[in-house]
Amino acid sequence: MAINYEWYKVFYWAAKTGSLSQAAKALYLTQPSVSHAIKQLEEGFGVALFYRTSKGVELTQEGAVLYEYIEQSQILLSLAEEKMAALKNLDSGELRIGGSDSLFKHYVLPYLEQFHERHPGVKLHLNHGTTPEVITFLKEGRIDLGVVRMPIVDQQLQVTESFQLQDCFVAGARYAELKGGVMSLDKLLQYPIILFSRNSRARMTITELFQGYGYSIKPEIEVGSVDLLIEFARRGLGISYVTREFVSKELEEGSLFEVRLDVSLPPSRVGILTMRNMPLSSAARAFIQLVR
């Protein structure tokens, strides 16, 4: 049986108001259109759904049974419309972001605070991981957007460049004799070097830089977090390669100092990753607009 689902809406309003003319008014239809829709529905089911009274129309026994189901569907549709409006207006929903611990702490957090103040009804979900892991999260649909270091070249991804970062080498009081001087790469490699894990973008960047000058940088210590890079350098376990913006407090208070080199370390940028040709949620669009 081929049923036009608009007929159910006509049936619902006719039953709810007890009047074909009121149903027509509610639906912005003509009364003959309402009568035709109900007739088609009755013929489709093979039963009478209404009978006429002096005041309008009333449901038959069969019509009352159908109304119980249609009423529930209309309630659900109304709730769905309200939910869609809430999602559009950011009164509810969720925002799922992937990124490294350091970028969340030193870069994303202030924006998340602003976003939460503006849209407290939107739930925030943070997925921690390296750049390759964040890309995997995004492609698997586990996050709405990723915040990673550039460059990223992937035809499946849309990349929006954002904040610029500057990496540097830092050391603590144990290597105070290096403070204020300028070192060559060859000289630097005579000291214990502390680097982030191999699959991080920062590690790839410094490895490629040294290779470009004909050197191989081999760390004495590898760690999995920026906090450990900072703490190990502060305790004198070696010279750490970190993002300057992430150690601004330590540099200002003097617990760390920057080890300057005779070559320039290129800046990098933070990029916001989304899936190309995939629609973004209202929450994701609002967050990207906030960060830009």
- Residue 142 CA neighbour count, 13 Å, CB half: 12
Q: Give the tens place of pLDDT for each residue, 57-79.
A: 999 999 999 999 999 888 888 87
Judged on CB neighbours under 10 Å (0-12, 13-18, 19+), 124 is: middle
Amino acid at 173: A
Other CB atoms within 10 Å distance of the CB of residue 109: 12
Fold of 94-164+270-291: D-Maltodextrin-Binding Protein; domain 2 (3.40.190)
Q: Is the pLDDT of residue 3 over 80?
A: no
Helices (H), the chain: 5-17, 20-27, 31-45, 61-88, 101-103, 109-118, 131-139, 185-188, 201-212, 226-234, 248-253, 282-291
Q: Give the tens place of pLDDT for each residue, 246-258.
A: 999 999 999 999 9
Instruction: Give the model's confidence band at 202: pLDDT under 50 very low, under 70 low, under 90 confident, else very high.
Output: confident
Q: Does domain 5-85 have CATH number 1.20.58.340?
A: no
Contact 104, 126 (CB under 8 A): yes
Domain boundaries, the chain: 5-85, 94-164+270-291, 167-266
